Every structure is written in C-alpha cells, then in structure tokens.
Structure 1
Amino acid sequence: MTPVGTEPDLADRVLGGWLGRIAGNMLGKPVEQGDHWTRERIDRYLRQAGALPLTDYLPEPVGPGAGDEFALRPEWRQCVRGRIHGSCRDDDVDYAILGLHLLETHGFGFSTEQVGDLWLLRLPYLQTFTAERAAYRNLAGGIRPPLTATYENPYQEWIGALIRADIYGWTCPGAPWRAASLARRDAVLSHTGNGVYGAMWAAALISAAFTAPGVRDALDTALTVIPASSRLARIVRRVASLHETRLSWEDTLSTVAEETAGLGWIHTVPNAAVLTAGLLYGDGDFTRTITLTVRGGLDTDSNGATAGSVAGVLSGAAAIPPQWKDPLEDTVRSAVFGFDGVRISELAARTLALAETEPETGAGPETGAAGTGLDTP
C-alpha cells in the first residue's frame, strides 16, 4: 500500500502511464502471435529458460534446439532482457504519439475527419494493420467517416481502436466520461460495435486510474461508459465475478477462453478478458500486472501495453521497478513522421500540459443514447 501523504502527483502518474505502456508493449512483443503463442506455450518457454515467476522482460531463447515451437518474432533481439536499448517501434506506441500530436494540433474539439487527415500525413500505410489499414485505404480512396469503418473492413470489432485510447485517458485524469467521448470520436474512423466500446472502456479505465482507490474501482467506473448489455461489458463483469470467487488466474482464463472461443486472437472481447484478469490478479503490483497479462496470451503486446498504462498511472513512474524503465533509456522509436527518437519524458511533459489545460467537465455522462451517455455506433 502507498503510505498516506506519498501518493504520486499528476506528473508522476502521466509519466507512469507512458513508461508502463512502452514497457508492457516491449514485454509482450516477442510473443505477439496469439494463434501460436498460447498461454500454455508462453509458460513452457519461460520454464525452459528458468524465468518463472516472470519478473523482467522475456529471456532470449535457450539453446539451439528451440525450433519452430519457441520461435520468437523477428524483433526479439531488440526487446528481450539484456538487449534493450530504447523501445522498439510498434503501433501500440505510435498511436499514443499520434494521439498526442492530434490534441496538440486540433485541441480537444478535434473531429473524426481530422484524425484521418493526420493518419495520411504522419503515419506510413505499411505500419497500419487490420481495421486501421482498411480505414486508411478507404481514406486514400476518398471515402469519408464513418463509412471508412464499414467499407470492405472485416476487422471492425478487433482491438485496434482500444490501443489508440490511452492518450484520452492520460489527458482527462479523473474524467472518464470525457475520456470515453474523445476515444469514441477517434475510434469510429475504423471500428464499430465492441471495437468502439473497447476504446471507450480503455480510455475511461485509464482516466479513472488517476483517482480510483484501486484497480477494481477503476474497472467498475470504466464499465459505466459502455452499454451494460454489450458483449464487452459482459465479459469484463464475468472475469470480475470469477475473481471474486477466488478462482485461480489460470482457471479464470480457461473459463473465459471457452466462452469467447471462435472470436479470434485479435478481437476486442477475448483480449479485454485477458487484460481484466491481469489487472485484477495483479492487484496494483506493476510487475505482476504486466507479466500476468502477457502470460495470458492473445494480443500480448497490446494487452501488455494497456495493462502497463493502467498500472503505471495507479503507481506513478517512481514506483515502477527499474528493470522495466531503465532499459528504455528514455527513448522511443516511432514510425510517426517527426517523432522517431523522441524522449519519453518529453512525451509525458507534453501530455501533462494538455491534462492541466483540459476544462473540468464533471464525472457524469454527456448527452446521448441510454446506457452510455453517448451516441452508440
């Protein structure tokens, strides 16, 4: 527990969010292939390397006989323990940077069209994937939002919008409805349904983490910004109820995996289950939160990034153990034009400046559809 009077200040929490997102992303990046790197295979890899319990970045492969079963992603040499010198480039961090640039350029009144314009201007097409690539292609072809999200886009409920949401939580500390509204405006460029709800939920979760007494309170608050009947809300509540029964982390994930079977490893709903389990069973401990989340499998780098963001905001940067932040060397690699090599501390300072100028909007819902306080997609 944090002693009374020593709670992190806003600047430390914002920096904690950035460091946590980047560290969690780096932790999960070598095993980001959910149809191959299952929860069971990840733990076999860690046992072979003598790295359970996991308390640091992933170890590099042990011995020459690992074969295809334990073949890490090609970037592994830049993101395993002992080899990290600054962050690897990854879309999970690129979109946080792009979101910061969006708010600095257009302010909190930005439009969905301006999000798309900035993608075309600052983001290389080949560094986009799934729903974002479909939306980018539609933008380049002259299609305008919200049709960019629906035309020839089979990925509308995948996790891409959720990974773009952190900046809205960081810049709206303690204002989850405001954060969710901003995330929705961004998300509808490329997503619909649970894809949009995932972005709203993540933004509200991160926003709530600034003022919530604990992770469960933040999760409960985040659920209020999305329809209670949505599949996303139901799976988050399901994980929370299993956690309340004191079921083990392993058995909880096995249960929800059966209940979300068939959705695929990049869909928002099963990934939200893995993320929620990591947060609840991590119980505010930064290392335990991100390592359990990544060990949960599926979209490991995206889930690790969001878990790290939430845990980093809850704890503050100063409380993040050095093995996670020191190898980052305060440096980010990015595909966003003009931002490669930027300092993490600079990104945090610029985010803080926005958070301190964001007007107070209250904690309740804005106008919109029943159940969300916002227009539902």
Structure 2
Amino acid sequence: MRNLLIIAVLAFFVVSAGCRPESKSEAPTGFANKEKIRISKKVLEDKIKGGWAGQVIGCTYGGITEFKWLGSFINDKVPIPWDENQIEFWYNQFPGLYDDIYMDLTFVSVFEKHGLEASDTLHALAFANAAYPIWHANLAARYNILNGIMPPLSGHYFNNPHADDIDFQIESDFAGLMSPGLINASSEICDRVGHIMNYGDGWYGGVFVAGMYTQAFISDDIKFVVSEALKAIPEESRFSQMINDVIQWHQMYPNDWKQTWFEIQKKWSFEKGCPDGVFNAFNIDASINAAYIVLGLLYGDGDYGKTIDISTRAGQDSDCNPSNAAGVLGTMLGFSNIPSYWLQGLDRVENRNFSFTEVSLNDVYGLSYGQALKMIEKHGGSIQGDTVEIVYQKVEPVKLEQSFDNLSPLQRVSYQWPMAGKKIDGVEKEYELGFVGAGIVFSGYAVKTDQKLPDYIVKLDVFVDGQLAEQVSLPTNTLIQKTNIYWNYRLTQGDHTVKMVAADVPSGYRVDIYSALIYSEEKK
C-alpha cells in the first residue's frame, strides 16, 4: 500500500518518493480501499477555504444570468461582468442569490452544535424554522416539516412534487468539504440531510456533487474526480446515465463544449417532475443542471475562469451550477492558487455574515476545517503534528431510487393568460376537473386580496372520484406556503375527477389555480 504525502511549501505541492507525480497526465486512476493518504494541515485548510470561496465566486458570476437562458446557451458575445464590485453588489442588493450557501451553513451549524451524529430531524427543524426564503423542493420540505411530515418522507415525491429538483444539489457542498477522501462518509451525511428535501435524481445530485469535493482533496485530475464521484450513483439511474453520456461526449468532442451541450439537450432536456418545468423551457431538474456542472469541469480542464464561464453559459440555473463547479475546482486548486482576478472583491465580504445567518465566510472556513479533522479521525485517520492521515474509502454506490416511477407527463391544462383563470373564494366556492390518467398536480397559491389583512391559512377539501381525499392547508405567507395546491401520483390509470371545495376561505382571501398537470402510466 503506497503512501501519498502532500505537504504545503510556499503554496505548492512537494512530492516525495512513492507519491503521485505532479503531472496531470500521470494522475492516479484510483486509490486502494483504506489506503493511507497524508496531507498537510495547511493544504487541507487551503483547499477547504478554496471550496467555500469558489461557491461565492461562481454564484456571483452567474447571478445576473440565472434562469434567463432557458433551453439555450449564452452566446460568447454576451458579456458577463466581473470586477472588484460584483460580490459586494450582490451581497447588498440581493442576498437571496446565495441561498445555495446559506442553506449549507444551516447544516454546518447543526453539526457544530450537535456533533457529527446530528440526526436528520435536527437538520430538518433548523432549516424549516429558519427565516430565509427558499423555493421548490426546499419550500415543499419546509411546509411538510412544519405540518408534521418529517424526513425522509418530507423529500419523497409522494409528498414533494419537486423531489427531482436541484435543491439538495446546490446545498450539498458542505458534506464533501467535511469529508476529504471519505466519499462513503459523505454519502451517509447526504442520506441524512438530502432526503429532507429530495429523493431519486434530486438526491443523487447532492451525493454526486459532494462526492466530487471528497475526491478533489486528493487528486488534481478533474476527469478522475468526476468519474470517481459518479460511481456513488447507481448505474441504472437516469442521473448516472446522463452524466456518463456527458463524459462520453466530452471524449467525442474534446474541443467543443457547445456540441456536447446540444447532445445533452437532444437526449436529456425533457422535464418529468417539477410542475413548473414540465412542457416548459424552464428546467430546474438536478440531473440536467449537474450535466452543466460537469460540462464546465471537463471542458474547463483545470482553468478556473473557463470552468466557471462554461458552467454559466450552459444556462438554466446558471448561478448555482458555476457555484458548484467553482467550489469543486477551488477545492482541488486550493484558495492560494485561485487566480487573483477571481478573488477580487472577496475580501470585502469575508467577514460579513450571510443574510439570515450568523456565519461569515471566514467563520465557515474554520468550522468546516474543524469538522473535516473530526471526520478524518472518526473514519480511521489520524492527526500527526502538522499532517493528517486520511484512510481512503473505495466508492460504494448508494441505493437505487427513482421519483415519478412509471409515470409520464401527458397534458398541462393552463389557467393563466391567455386562458381563463380559475379561483376559489367566497363567491366561487369550488372547482372540478375530469381527466384520464394516473396522476395529477394542481399548481397555485393562496393569496390575500386585501393586503391590509393578516396572513391566513386557507383550507380546501379535496375530493377524488367523489371521496374526500384530504383537507389541504394553504398559507398566504410566502415563507411557509405550499408549493402546489394538491397532487396525487398514485391513481390507477383511468377516468378520474378531482373537486376542490372551499372549507375555510374568508372574505379578503382567495386561492388562484394556475394549472393542472396530468400524468399517465408510462409505457414500457
């Protein structure tokens, strides 16, 4: 069993006998299970710092483009600004841009307070009761938790129509950053935390991203980092097949990321889960956005600016994707090796707490480093003076799970302009829809028609095929609202009716119904 000694001297790696060479062309194809890898504390700390800083840099760079290019890449002639003022501008003007980071910080803080064994319940309650705004799978999970549906059921697609969305993928970085070389330990953390808000491919996105971080600590070969992390995802899953395709297309078109982007669109761009994305150009699915992360990493080939730019220009969630990509590459390079061009302005915010938190970048550098040391020791490694010894973990795939199994989107019935709107209020007290299918999702929200009134929880009785199925509670408060009015993915294929009846809709309040998304049984 060979030993790998990595020691920081003047911010460069010095390689000793029996260790891997500096040349990327000679980078290792893998490590043996339980192989001991030695790395200096200084390098470990520098890499963790590079991972967190990279997230802020990538998120900031892509911020102005987020969800503006839907089903299209951003042409090279479109300028994306970057200067010493950009990071501070976004901190001041739209702190919600950094939701993928302040969500991470919630889980980091829970581990810091309760230890490495902190339960999924502790993590769930911390984020459900936080004051920050969240969306999609995160918001659906918050609603579930506040209404007694705890993890892992809070993230399951039976209870969360956004289970395949990008949410855990964008906030999973912490799990990899606290698990250097410990990919299975990272996957276990992802199991506890990621199933709070996601399931299936949505969960796999987080497992994969966190896995790339674990490998970025011990390899400077980006192809190895991507392919090794992908081994954690079951090969049968849609997620694994998509990322594997990106790897293959990169080999076929090594100098043309746009050709690979087109191949991704042709084969994988159809959205199946998110009610906002099905039959629309908008796509917040974890897997396709993960493909854009990998696109940037592979075609960037270790070039920091190129990696960020490609992951941004691929479109869709184009702030979160470069955030993940820059975080992984920042971990590989270390903070001290991030080009100064990309660090400009970062020092202005490093001591500022992220909005809705009491944690700054400088704080999390230290917190994450401390947790990484504890994880190394917990999993058989040791701390020896200025050096840590990591006991490498050979990748073990996580369990197979797929959302919306045996279902295929069939039709969207729209009630938004130019179609006639639908609502339930004090005058129009019910709405009924007949359809043929095996599942349905009604999208919409409870709103106040009189803004002077306090927030309220509106209630509807939902009848399926003439039988009371459930009473849904719809808060008008956007921080805790239900993402969709009603859904059911477990109907038998055939004729059905759904009727929603006002149970408690006082004057001054209303339920707006935007659409009904109908699913049929998937044809094999």
Please report the TM-score for the alignment, with normalisation by the length of structure 1.
Answer: 0.83
Structure 2 residue aligned with 1:169:
176
Structure 2 residue aligned with 1:352:
369
Structure 2 residue aligned with 1:33:
67
The structure where strand makes up a greater share of residues is 2
Structure 1 residue aligned with 2:340:
322
**Is the 1:165–1:200 contact (alpha carbons within 8 Å) kept by the matching residues of 2?**
yes
Structure 1 residues 302-342: Cα deviation after superposition (integer angstroms, max 9, x where no partner): 10110011110010001111222231222455233323xx2
Structure 1 residue aligned with 2:76:
43
The yes-or-no answer on 1:96 pairing with 2:104 is yes
Q: How do 1:4-153 residues align onto structure 2 when only pairs under 5 Å count?
A: 4-5=13-14, 9-34=43-68, 36=70, 38-40=72-74, 42-46=75-79, 58-59=80-81, 81-84=83-86, 86=88, 88=91, 89=95, 90-121=98-129, 123-124=130-131, 127-150=133-156, 152-153=159-160
Q: CA deviation at 1:246?
A: 3.1
Q: Counterpart of 1:262 in structure 2: which amino acid?
A: F
Structure 2 residue aligned with 1:303:
321
Q: CA deviation at 1:167?
A: 0.7
Any stretches of 5+ residues in structure 2 without a counterpart? 1-10, 16-21, 23-41, 272-276, 278-282, 381-390, 403-524
Q: Counterpart of 1:194 in structure 2: which amino acid?
A: D
**Is the 1:99–1:164 contact (alpha carbons within 8 Å) kept by the matching residues of 2?**
no
- Tell me the distance in 2 between the aligned counterparts of 1:107 and 1:221: 28
The yes-or-no answer on 1:185 pairing with 2:202 is no
The structure where helix makes up a greater share of residues is 1
The yes-or-no answer on 1:267 pairing with 2:290 is no
**Is the 1:34–1:297 contact (alpha carbons within 8 Å) kept by the matching residues of 2?**
yes
Any stretches of 5+ residues in structure 1 without a counterpart? 47-57, 60-79
Structure 2 residue aligned with 1:335:
355
Q: 1:331 to 1:25 in 2, by over 3 A?
A: farther
Structure 1 residue aligned with 2:397:
372
**Is the 2:220–2:333 contact (alpha carbons within 8 Å) kept by the matching residues of 1?**
no
Q: 1:326 to 1:355 in 2, by over 3 A?
A: same
Identity of aligned residues (%): 25
SS in 2 for 1:45: coil
Q: Counterpart of 2:374 in structure 1: which amino acid?
A: T
Q: Counterpart of 2:106 in structure 1: which amino acid?
A: L
Query: Bigger radius of gyration, 1 or 2?
Result: 2
**Is the 1:124–1:336 contact (alpha carbons within 8 Å) kept by the matching residues of 2?**
yes
Structure 1 residues 54-113: Cα deviation after superposition (integer angstroms, max 9, x where no partner): xxxx32xxxxxxxxxxxxxxxxxxxx5353353622201112211210210222212211
**Is the 1:84–1:328 contact (alpha carbons within 8 Å) kept by the matching residues of 2?**
no
**Is the 1:14–1:352 contact (alpha carbons within 8 Å) kept by the matching residues of 2?**
yes
SS in 2 for 1:212: coil
Q: How do 1:158-307 residues align onto structure 2 when only pairs under 5 Å count?
A: 158-247=165-254, 248-263=256-271, 264=277, 265-307=283-325
Q: Counterpart of 1:83 in structure 2: which amino acid?
A: N
Q: Which has the higher contact order (CA 8 A, sep 6+)?
A: 1
Please report the TM-score for the alignment, with normalisation by the length of structure 2.
Answer: 0.60
**Is the 1:39–1:296 contact (alpha carbons within 8 Å) kept by the matching residues of 2?**
yes
Q: CA deviation at 1:37?
A: 8.1
Q: CA deviation at 1:261?
A: 2.1
